[in-house]
A and B are shown apart, each in its own frame.
Chain A
Amino acid sequence: MGTTRFIHYIPVLGRNAFLTFFAITSLTVWVLVTTNVVTRYAIKGYTEEQLKQLHWDAVIYQSQDLAFHGDVKGRISKIKNVERVETLGLLRMRLTPANGIRIGGRVSSAPWFSIVSSSDPAVLPSEFNHASPRDDGSATLVMFGPQSFVGVYLDQLQIGSELSLTQKNPEGDLQIFSTRIQKVSQVERGELVKWIIGQVGSTAYVPPMGLIAVVSPERLDAEVVRLERAFKVLRTGAGVEEGGEVGQEGPAYSPQIIHLVSLQRRVLFSGWDLEASLTRVSNAVEEVRAEARKVNYNALVNSDLMLTLEKMVGNSEMVGIVGLLISIPILWMVWILSRSLAGLVSLNERRTIGLMRLRGASGSAIRSALAFSILAGGLAGSVAGILLGNLVPIFVYKVTPAQMIKIIEPELLLIFAVVAAAVAYFSGRRVTEYATRITPREASARTSPSESQMWSPAFTNFQLLALLVGGYKIVLWIADYSVQVSWLQTIDGLLNFLAAPLFIYGFTSFIISRSKTVRVLLQGLARPIAGRLESFVVENLMMKPHRVASAILIASLMFSMALYPKITADSFQDKIARGLRVNLGADLVLTFNVSDLPGGAELRSNVIREQVDKLRGVVNETIQKIASVGDVDSAEPVYECMIPGSFYIPGQASVPLFLLSDSDKFLNSVYHEPALGVGKPFTDAIQTLETGGTLISKGLVDFNRASIGSELMLGRTASREQVKVPITGAIAVLPGASRVILEDREAFSDSDVEFINHLAQSNAFITAKLDNPAVAHLQGVFSRVIILVSLRNSADAAVVLTSIESVVRPLKAASTSNFSTQVKRLSKDMFVSLALESLKLYVLGGILVALAGVVAIGIVNFLDLKRNLALLRIRGGSPRLLLRAVIADFLVPILLGMIIGSATGVLTGYGLTNYIFRIPRVLSAVVLKVQLVVPLLTWGIVGFLFTCFMLLALIFSHWTFRRSAREALRG
């Protein structure tokens, strides 16, 4: 037989097969390649955005031999790929009875003092700017802390006063540092913390109040040896007990020179090639470390750039794997599309094959010709898809060809091409097998046996398994439960990506196998569309169960894929926003330091009742003033009192006790959700306070430090008697009472989700009523009064805050937060946003594939239907009636798929959100229930897709408008 013969058949039989499978594979590979490139582009963009937040690429902490800091800087500057090195001197000290600050001859009450200097003034906050760049021996004095502390200096300090740091010695005070104050400024503590985080990339303890002397670098150079020695002596010789005072705990400090290093990012970093970038950056950082240690062996080197890149490399691998897993539904759709198109090719080529068989062509030669054409089409399509997929980003994302060469991953492209060609080949076997199976007589006949005779829609064990496994996972999602058995967890994790398509496949197959059920469903949907031709349409659809099943399956997958990313994203963001709302507690939160309140600084007693008696009047007055401001709906205070004791959480010197003045008012004023209560709704838990009970935090429950129903040893009275209170409940979060706000995140590269996690971590705290007699004699120190302000609808928090500030003056809140500002800072979690971006791309690709699949099925159906429509036309059917029949024939299976897919999409979206919150990285306000959010856009997507299908149906039905019935029959 020859090869010759089979090759000769290709031009006759192969054209349609080649073009069809070329189209399928090019579309498939294009979607896969584009998605891969775009995902990497998203990671690149995200990484670049993260790196923009990093001021310095490496930070060297020199805590010894500070005199040689110039050597360190010099050596580092000479390293290849080091762009810039700046020096920041940071000599911090806790002030104790052993040392002290005198300003203008008067002893300062400041608990903390620091000398700061930088080789580049731009590194310092604007408040630090030294007025004179010359080394004239002067300093800028920067203060931070409550008004009661700062105000004293602002009122009394004279420019030109002397500041001196002295060490007390029996022989007489020893002056360590002295300077003339050339300028005085004030900085918010929060800003100071942010500045330190911004420069060195990690958090540093900054006490509630302190003084900073900013000196010129020359001055520091001149005095650094003496200061280093003196600061070390003071640190080790003062005998300070760490953490010994309520609310005053903090580390001992070493005098430090911090070298801030910028690397040549343009040379070292490429967002397209994170792994190579990480290698280059690691090498550069290692070189920096080696050089620094040549001068100071103990120098520590941190590189946020390296850490961020390490994190992003890990992320990109994970996102890649997730992306591939998510592509499974698309490949599934491609498979169904290929099978449908194979059916179309069979239908088209049947007569040609028949005639060739009649004239003696061998089945195997025909099969070889078709298989060759299909495979050639598949491979050519893969190449076209690779080219298209790589070219599109060049234009869309303005990637240069040189970058493109870096982006291209030959191994991955090869995998894509092989997968697509395999799909083409195996789905094409339907055509090749048909070509050999068909008899010459059958092939040349004008009609073929009905599809229902050829294809029995049995519900196989595999389909049952798909339904059970997919359904099981969706139920677990919704029930918010996951498998605990370790070896099953991998499978369980994989199912997160497969559950929806498996469920849809199983469910669709189940429905199709129940002919009575499917008939009823089709009738219900066809009736309003097809009108009098309902039975004709339904019977026609029932004749081709395989195609109907394919259309339902494709439409289900498409609609579920189109919906669940958006539902997941919005449900996720909704929970995060609610977490933030719970954290803030109200629209507007004002926190007053007790020491700033009138009489607050003079509180001499540690007994709670005595302190409350003094504070309550001023707090109530403030509340009334706030409540009088227009647009304020209500205002409610929460008193924070620190109870000394270290028996609750190891390492924690005290436990905050939050005191509420009125449980009902509190519940009415703050944002809360039932799930904030542990074991019982939050409202019920708070109301138990009225009975004299106390609520413990989830943290205490988790640490097994206390249990509900038992008695809690809360503290001691002034006469050292134990104060025990009944524990009537537990709560996860007390809205508004968090000590941490959004700005306090540990690093800018942290996502907001992680921050929310941090907020919701198991903090230890206790809640009680202000007038609880059990706590009246307890010893504690009031630290803050938090006023939670609810606003009327549409009130502008910033405007209301200005009004409040004016009515409460001269009182000034230590900090204020409002929901509308904070919620804007909730941007995106990296994992979630990247995953969702990828999902959106897949959705786009999936919709393209699905549309192609549905169109293919529609064409096959229409070709089948055409002659029947012509007969109806001859028998008097009006074009309008036939139009409705065509639309129904096309739309009814899609509508059924839309219903199944939309329902699955909503369930999946809800379930996946639950799942995301189970990921260890996203612990966030886990106590809150996920609420299903179906945004308007979801309906927009459904409407858009439906409109697309409607248009397609109209295009198909255009034929029925032909003028004469005879044309219809001929057509």
Chain B
Amino acid sequence: MIQRSSDSGLFKHQGLNIMTEALHKKYEIGVDSVTAVDGASIEIRPSMTAALVGVSGCGKSTLLNLLGGIDRPDKGSITVGGVDITRLSERDLEEYRLNKIGFVFQMFNLLPALTAVENVKLPMTMAGKLEKGERHCRALNLLQLVGVEKRAHKRPDELSGGEQQRVAIAVALANDPGIILADEPTANLDQANLRKILALLIGLASECKKTILIATHDPRVSSETEIVIKMAEGRISDVLKAENHIRKLVSLGE
């Protein structure tokens, strides 16, 4: 589904291996304490697509936040590409988020003041690696890759939901990260757009060799990934290959 740009040379970095060990994360909510992640240990190999599934409040988003360096675990380790990110300083974590991770959100989270191409350029500008012209060129190429190059100069409120999510994926890819973390990326999309976005994400793994982890409720999404990580009450309850997961879903009549 990825529209390959002629060059391409857009991606130099391959997907990274993700390994967590006995991750724990608690939140204090008022006087109560909630265990969001409780001893989670998983491994996702480079360039693999994985789905993180489970009911609301099972800890999917927390696990994604921990893997993306948005939050820190109370206990346990997270090794990404051989580096334990739990030991990184705040500054290094910023570098990690900027260069190693691409985020895709349910609500797209594009900056409303910027056009599509400006949104894509911004992470590159923050990283300060490329020249101005190169940034612009790369941003247009990424928009072409996700199929919205004709909408490059539109602001988010002028784009449809599907287009916004495509732009959001281009933003996530801007700094050529090894990992894409997607939190319910298709929840706000219709059937047609769901298929397009899903194909795009899967294509990133197969053709661009990125490691893809998608938190989702939607079996149509989890059925497309290589492995499915099931979570319940903060724990990893099961890790299945996609075909086994589908078989289970069929047997449960979901």
| A contact set with B: CB distance below 8 Å | 446-447, 449-450, 453, 532-533, 535-536, 539-540, 542-543, 868, 871-872, 874-878, 881, 963-966, 969
- Is B125 in contact with A966, judged by CB distance below 8 angstroms? no
Residues of A within 8 A of B113 (CB): 450, 536, 539-540, 542-543, 868
| Cα A965 to Cα B103 with chains together (Å) | 13
Which residues of B come within 8 Å of A, CB atoms? 65, 68-72, 90-91, 93-99, 103, 107, 109, 111-114, 118, 121-123, 125-128, 155, 157, 171, 175
Closest to A534 in B: B125
List A contacts of B93 (CB < 8 A).
965
Q: Is the CB of A532 within 8 A of B65?
A: no
Q: Given A868-B111, A874-B68, 14 more contacts at CB 8 Å? A: A453-B157, A535-B114, A536-B113, A539-B113, A539-B118, A543-B112, A874-B97, A874-B103, A875-B123, A875-B171, A878-B91, A881-B126, A965-B70, A966-B65
A876: chain B residues at CB < 8 Å are 94-99, 123, 126-127, 175
The distance from the CB of A959 to the nearest CB of chain B, in whole angstroms, is 16
The answer to whether B103 and A449 touch across the interface, beta carbons within 8 angstroms, is no
- Min Cβ gap B67→A in Å is 12
The answer to whether B114 and A536 touch across the interface, beta carbons within 8 angstroms, is: yes
Helix, strand, loop or mixed for chain A's interface?
helix
CB distance A877 to B114 under 8 Å? no
- A sample of 19 cross-chain residue pairs with beta-carbon separation below 8 angstroms, ordered by A number, consists of A446-B107, A450-B112, A532-B125, A532-B128, A535-B114, A535-B118, A536-B113, A536-B122, A539-B113, A543-B112, A543-B113, A868-B111, A871-B111, A876-B94, A963-B90, A964-B72, A965-B69, A965-B70, A966-B71
Most buried by B among A446, A540, A965: A965
Complex CA distance for A453 and B95, rounded to whole angstroms: 36
In the assembled complex, the CB of B122 is this many whole angstroms from the nearest CB of chain A, namely 6
Residue numbers in B under 8 Å from A535 (CB-CB)? 114, 118, 121-122, 125
Contact A533 B72 (CB under 8 A): no
A621 to chain B, nearest CB (A): 82
List the 6 closest pairs (A to B, CB-CB), nearest first: A876-B98, A876-B97, A539-B113, A966-B71, A543-B113, A540-B113
Which residues of chain A come closer than 8 Å to B171, judged between CB atoms? 875
Measured CB to CB, the nearest residue on chain A to B171 is: A875
Contact with A874, one of B70, B91, B127, B155 (Cβ below 8 angstroms): B70
Partner of A877, one of B70, B90, B94, B99: B94
Tell whether, in the assembled complex, residue B91 and residue A875 are in contact, meaning their CB atoms are under 8 Å apart: no
Collect the chain B residues with CB atoms within 8 Å of residue A536's CB: 111, 113-114, 118, 122, 125
Q: Which chain A positions have C-beta within 8 A of B99?
A: 876
Q: Given A874-B103, A963-B90, A447–B112 Cβ distance below 8 Å?
A: yes
A865 to B, closest residue via Cβ: B113
B91 with A964: CB separation less than 8 A: no
How far apart are A535's CB and chain B's nearest CB, in angstroms? Answer: 6
CA separation between A878 and B90, bound complex, in Å? 9
A540, A877, A881, A963 pick with most chain B CB within 10 angstroms: A877
- Residue from the list B72, B90, B98, B157 in contact with A875, Cβ < 8 A: B98
CB of A445, distance to nearest CB on chain B (Å): 11
Residue of A nearest to B66 (CB): A966
List the B side residues contacting A543 at CB < 8 Å.
112-113
Task: Return A519 CB to nearest CB of chain B, in Å.
Answer: 12
Query: Do residues B103 and A875 form an inter-chain contact, with CB atoms below 8 A?
Result: yes
- In the complex, which residues of chain B have a beta carbon less than 8 angstroms from the beta carbon of A453? 157
Tell me the smallest distance from the CB of A227 to a CB of chain B, in Å: 96
Measured between alpha carbons, how far is A878 from B68 in the docked complex, in Å?
15
Q: Return the contact of B94 from the options A447, A450, A868, A878 (Cβ within 8 A).
A: A878
Chain A residues contacting B128 (CB-CB under 8 Å) are 532
Q: Which residue of B lies closest to A867 (CB)?
A: B109
CB distance A449 to B157 under 8 Å? yes
B91 to A, closest residue via Cβ: A878
Which of chain B's residues have a CB closer than 8 A to the CB of A877?
Answer: 94, 98, 126
Using CB atoms, name the residue of chain B closest to A878.
Answer: B94
Least Cβ–Cβ distance between A735 and chain B, in angstroms? 64
